[in-house]
Amino acid sequence: MNIKELIISINAIEDQLELTNFRVNGIDMWPRIRYIILYKNSSTLDISNIKKKYIQRIYKRIFTYLFGVIRYLRAYFSNYKKNDRIDQKRDVLFISSSNTRRMKYKNNWYDTLCDPLIDEIEKKRLSYLVLERSTDLTFKYPRYRKSKYIQLEVVKIFIKSLIKLKSIKLDERFMLEFNKMENLLEDKGFIDFKTLLSDVKNDASYIISLSEYFSKYLKYIKPKETYIVSWYGYLGMAICYACNKYNIPIYDIQHGVQGKYHFAYSAWNNIPSCGYNTHPSNYLNWSKEDSDNINQWLEKSNLPKSAKVKGNLIQEKFLDDTEISLYYDNRYNEKYNIYKYNKKILITLQREKSCPEYILELLKKSSNNVLWLIRFHPLTDLKTKKRIKKQIKKLNRDNYEIDFATEAPIYCLLRNIDLHITQESSVVIEAANFNVKSIITSENAKLHYASYLKDNKIYHADSYNTINAIINNILGYGNKKIA
């Protein structure tokens, strides 16, 4: 099933279930159950980790943590002055991630999602605290602002949740509803749900333990509001539950494409009258289209329309000539002016385990008219980066660059490139705002970016020949070979 078919099918199932029955110790688990079902049945997303048996995931985490502790200690002590402490009340709480520090500005790593909001908060002279996590214990420092690393505490909580697993009881109502759901999933053609019950029990234990941890913080610092990037992971659902419990507004900050077919932000059906206590109470969106999409299903369920257009604040700093945009323009020119190419094309990778064949073919057959800027996904691990770099190096071409294209702010690149190619990255949206056309290669991307296709801001291609023809057409080279 494609993403549209998955959403339609899960909505039909939601209509036939009493979703309040999926509560464990008072915590709404349907949002997590739905997430697992949809992601395990997605044909284009990297679901290798979520498909692993729970014990395999535990072993992988333990291995990551053993080596990660060294990185944690190095980051903690090397950047000691930027370690914040929980020693007083704060007006605003941020739950951030090291992987959103995507901009090294004047030698300090700037969080492109949280720091623009903190810029505004500081002007209002409000106090704030940033709790920073990093799933793989990889940190970017020196930091632009203070934060408190919490990942080691999160590791302890994960271990604690395993110990407490036996205390997690699924009541009769839960089991009856779950059995009914399994039959509906089978009827609709869903797969990979045989281990779902054990997954839900494990996840419930972890989310409950995390929510207890955050509740202690909330009682002490008493924030007036909380902001989080990506609500639909374990930690996100836990902080949502804790904030909702204490009536503290919690805002989800948009971090990428949403639209009609995002599993976490679109088409929730048959929502309980009081909503889900593992959902955020508010959403900050880049565009009216995204906020309208969320408000539509909220309104359908008689819930307050709590999605608001905030805009993409970091992007706005690059749309005009500002101190920060000109700073990066200079860095871009220093890096790329040595290359004597007519055009520059950006390729943004997803979380592929190897380099897509069409990219290898583009680079292999490319003429010397184009410099290819290849950008890794922020969550791509070091092992995968090395593998892909090795694949590209074997082509014996010199008209490409990877490291600066990955490190530089995406908006710096979009100010200076001629074309963008991706499977389905949300950079498509940002590129359009800089009047840069994109070529998308996945079928799901056609659903995500339907309005952009309609307005000829992007093009779809599924083969090397088609991509090459579109490149030549967009860049105005006629029949001249570019790639």
Confidence of residue 478 (pLDDT cuts 50, 70, 90): very low
Where b means 16+ CB within 10 Å and e means fewer, 250-266 reads bbbbbbbbbbbbbbbbb
| C-alpha separations of 299 from 21, 292, 295, 306, 441 in Å | 22, 10, 6, 9, 34
pLDDT of 339 reads 67
Q: Where are the domains of the chain?
A: 1-311, 317-474
- The pTM of the full predicted model, rounded to 2 decimals, is 0.90
Q: How far apart are CA 51 and CA 57, in angstroms?
A: 9
Closest CA to 158 of 236, 62, 68, 225: 62
| Dihedral-angle region of residue 311 (phi above 0 means left; psi in -120 to 50 means alpha; beta otherwise) | left
Rg, the chain, Cα only: 23
Is the bond preceding residue 142 a cis peptide, omega within 30 degrees?
yes
Strands 282-285 and 250-253: parallel
Class for the domain spanning 317-474: alpha beta
Centre a 10 Å sphere on the Cβ of residue 353 and count the other Cβ atoms it contains.
12
| C-alpha separations of 124 from 91, 117, 308 in Å | 11, 11, 20
Is the pLDDT reported for residue 483 higher than 60? Answer: no
Strands 282-285 and 307-309: parallel
| C-alpha separations of 320 from 314, 315, 329 in Å | 11, 9, 12
- The helix or strand, by DSSP H or E, that contains position 417, with its residue range, turns out to be none
330-364 per-position pLDDT tens digit? 999 998 876 677 899 999 999 888 999 999 999 99
168-211 per-position pLDDT tens digit? 999 999 999 999 999 999 999 998 777 899 999 999 999 999 99
Q: Phi, psi (5° rounding) for residue 147? A: -155, 165
Is the pLDDT reported for residue 404 higher than 90? Answer: yes
Cβ contacts of 123 within 8 Å, gap of 6 or more: none
* 112 close to 314: Cβ distance less than 8 angstroms: yes
Confidence of residue 64 (pLDDT cuts 50, 70, 90): low
91-128 per-position pLDDT tens digit? 999 999 999 999 999 899 999 999 999 999 999 999 99
Where b means 16+ CB within 10 Å and e means fewer, 113-152 reads bbbbbbeebeeeeeebbbbbbbbbbbbbbebbbebebbbe
pLDDT higher at 351 or 212: 212
DSSP 254: P
